[in-house]
Amino acid sequence: MSKYKRILLKLSGEALASSENTVDPVTLEKVVGIIKSVKDQGVEVGIVVGGGNIFRGAALAESGMNRVTGDHMGMLATVMNALAISDSCRKNDVDVLVMSGFPIGGGVCEPMDHNKAKKALSEGTVVIFSAGTGAPCFTTDTGATLRAIEIGAQAVFKATKVDGVYTADPMKDPSATRYDTLSFDEAIEKNLQIMDTSAFAMCREHNLEICVFSMLEDTNTLSNILKGNPLGTIVRN
């Protein structure tokens, strides 16, 4: 039995891509398999997904695009990714609800409503939150943290390319070692870039745990963490 009742899973858009596809069908199936393994433990799961596999507004802003326009385009990219994950969920008999940080008509997805989201989660529905915070100039990390607080999640699980937080970049330094646990104060003192500053401060203030882990290399990792296995890095007060 997991110690977590409700979690927020934060996925990068890049994780959904492959060399052949912007949104890879095989990866989507893996993601849904992971979601099902979490639900099988009785854990309610909300998801926030980025849009970097489709569009990165910040990068184009550096090239001269208006930052607000770029961020709006990036938020729309997260909606596309959310719809892709939801479609794959439905094909695999997983109940799912997509919500957006700003209103989108035509029956595409629901507007964000934290009460409706909590009710859906309590009924076993996976809720995917798209369009970030609904406002420009905020990262997907901040959007994930905000949604986690709104739905009363006990932790944000941040899926990354590496299996936790290290003393140095493990891609560059083979002597780097992984932290099993860290306090927020330790992470600040060591200047570890776990999330952007706003998201990190919100987690600290609201006593919201962060777990950094690698999800797709071993699709059992998240399920094993929820069972109590010491994988990834947990950051807590």
Q: Can you give the pLDDT at residue 202?
A: 96
pLDDT in tens, 30-84: 999 999 999 999 999 999 999 999 997 777 778 889 989 999 999 999 999 999 9
Are the CB atoms for 98 and 30 separated by under 8 Å? no
Cα 212 → chain centroid: 10
pLDDT tens digit sequence for 2-11: 889 999 999 9
CA distance 190 to 88: 40
User: What Å distances lie between residue 113 and 98, 116, 183, 198, 205, CA to CA?
Assistant: 11, 5, 32, 22, 22
Q: Are strands 233-236 and 181-183 parallel, antiparallel or unpaired?
A: parallel
The per-residue pLDDT for 161 is 85
The residue among 128, 194, 132, 139 whose CA lies nearest residue 162 is 194
Higher pLDDT among residues 218 and 114, named by residue: 114
Per-residue pLDDT at 112: 98
216 phi and psi, to 5 degrees? -90, -20
- 52, with CB counted inside 10 A (0-12, 13-18, 19+), is buried
Q: What is the pLDDT of residues 121-133, one digit of tens each?
A: 999 999 999 999 9
Predicted local distance difference test score (pLDDT) of residue 59: 73
| Residue 154: pLDDT over 90 | yes
* Mean pLDDT value across residues 204-222: 93
CATH says 6-236 is which class?
alpha beta
Mean pLDDT of the chain: 94
Task: Select from 140, 146, 94 the least CA-distant residue to 120.
Answer: 94
What are the structural domain ranges in the chain? 6-236
